[in-house]
Amino acid sequence: MKTPILFTALLATALQTLCAAEKPLLAIPGKVIYESKLDSDLGDPWKSAKGKWEAVDGVLRGAEKPEDKHGAVTRLPNKLADFVIEYEVKFEGAKSTSLSINAVKDHMARIMITPQSVTIQKDDNDHAGPDQAVVFAKFSAPIQPGIWHSVRMEMVGDTMLGKVDDHTAWGSNDLFKQDRMSPGFTVGGQSVDFRNLKISEATLNPDWASVQATLPKPGEKMDMPEGKPGAKKPAPEAK
């Protein structure tokens, strides 16, 4: 009669894993603002400024157009309060992709992903100075092509949290108190697939202080991709 016992143990382990994966981080998700499987060509309300965006095999594929001389960009025109954004991404040959949030006049924050790294940062908000980008964390993280990876961004008050698979980091800045505008995707090169996008309202997790204590402090985790010591972080794409 060992089989039922083994099954019970495996079930318990699976449930524990599921509960751990669903444990709140910075935010508690609330009402869903926007949700899409991203399984068809983009139409309203999406605004695709650059690149090629099309449905391929039931997912959204973004690719840079050489003639644009600019990364591919597509955005939703939403103005966000505190939020959680979740989706999945898969590299199919591209050099980079990001989840980007704008401020009213310029960039605010992003999660930048390359085949070698994950960067979570506040963006340069004026380009001409004196504001500069602030990297909260950069993880050496092989992102294998053809494999789906989960991406999550949370923003509550003056604090942002980014998560790609198990790589998680956070940081605070007064810029995040401004209006959060036009969440969107960017792609450098060709190409990247996207699916299962969900944007939700959010409230502060009452246990955030405990969660925060388990995460690297801003600026503490600055791994460089293997074989590329001193590599520069990718420049943020334009709006």
Task: Note the pLDDT tens digit of each residue in 204-218.
Answer: 999 999 999 999 999
Phi then psi for 80, rounded to 5 degrees? -110, 140
Q: What is the pLDDT of residues 109-135, one digit of tens each?
A: 999 999 999 999 999 998 777 889 999
Phi then psi for 66, rounded to 5 degrees? -55, -35
For range 162-166, the mean pLDDT: 97
Give the type of residue at 27: A
Cα 9 to Cα 17, 20, 22, distances in angstroms: 12, 17, 20
Q: How confident is the model at residue 225 (pLDDT cuts 50, 70, 90)?
A: low
Q: How confident is the model at residue 1 (pLDDT cuts 50, 70, 90)?
A: very low
Return the minimum-mean-pLDDT range out of 65-69, 164-168, 225-229. Answer: 225-229
User: Where are the domains positioned within the chain?
Assistant: 25-222
Assess contact for 53 and 62: CB atoms under 8 A. Answer: yes
What pLDDT score does 128 carry?
A: 78
Tell me how far apart the alpha carbons of residues 162 and 111 are, in angstroms, rounded to a whole number. 7
Tell me how far apart the alpha carbons of residues 126 and 135 are, in angstroms, rounded to a whole number. 16
Cα 120 to Cα 98, 162, 177, distances in angstroms: 10, 6, 18
Q: What is the pLDDT of residues 56-84, one digit of tens each?
A: 999 999 999 999 999 999 999 999 999 99
What pLDDT score does 130 carry?
A: 86
Contacts with 161 (C-beta within 8 Å, 6 or more apart), sequence order? 25, 26, 27, 152, 153, 154, 155, 168, 169, 170
The widest CA-to-CA distance across the chain, in whole angstroms, is: 72
pLDDT value at 230 more than 70:
no
Nearest alpha carbon to residue 215 among 120, 91, 133:
120
What CATH fold (topology level) applies to the domain 25-222?
A: Jelly Rolls (2.60.120)
